[in-house]
Structure 1
Amino acid sequence: MLLLRVAARVEFASLLVLLANLATVHIAAIATLAGPLHGCAYLLVIGATVAATPRGRPRLLSVVPGVGGLLAERSMRAVQA
């Protein structure tokens, strides 16, 4: 669960960095660094969710780019409570 929590936040933060860079100055070096970071975090979110849940809603939510990890984490907490 900790892995999912960290990866979800990294995925969201890297998406914000990419979008802010695109909307403002569009520095290629930022896109070069943040793009692969976002992609790796996205894949890690999906893998961590699949490993932590047998099936269900969190797995479907995890594939939403950008905010899927945060949604899956919230859904997993709701199921555990």
Structure 2
Amino acid sequence: MRPPWQPLPVAAGVELISLTVLLLNLATVHWPAVASLMGPTHGCAYLFVVIATARHPRRTGRLVLTALVPAIGGLLVLRHLSPAHDAQPGRR
């Protein structure tokens, strides 16, 4: 049985990959077509991560602020929401 589709991990991955492509494009050939495609993709993924975190049932103010960190905010949110994070000693 497959686990249910989770949009937050997908959006966090798209956010990171799209920013990486944007920065690599900027550092190398700087093709306008790549920037015009990946820029809005990154922006939408970033906004989706922030909104999905704000709507998550286990959200906290600190977690929403973490989601605002570009590129790695979504990954940090996923790490905090993972079951392995809750199983660590000293965690509530």
TM-score (norm 2): 0.80
What root-mean-square deviation, in Å, do the aligned CA atoms of Structure 1 and Structure 2 show? Answer: 1.4
Structure-1 residue corresponding to 2:76: 71
Q: Residue 10 of structure 1: which of 3, 7, 14 is its match?
A: 14
* Consecutive unaligned residues in structure 1, runs of 5 or more: none
- Identify, as 1 or 2, the structure richer in helix: 1
How many Å apart are 1:56 and its aligned residue?
3.8
Runs of 4+ in 1 over 6 A off after TM superposition: none
- 2:29 maps to a residue whose letter is V
- Alpha carbons 2:53, 2:59 under 8 Å: kept: no
Percent of paired sites with the same residue? 52
Structure-2 residue corresponding to 1:55: 60
* Cα deviation 1:58-79 (Å, max 9, x = unaligned): 2121000111100111011124
RCO higher in 1 or 2 (8 Å CA, sep ≥ 6)? 1
TM-score (norm 1): 0.90
* Consecutive unaligned residues in structure 2, runs of 5 or more: 88-92
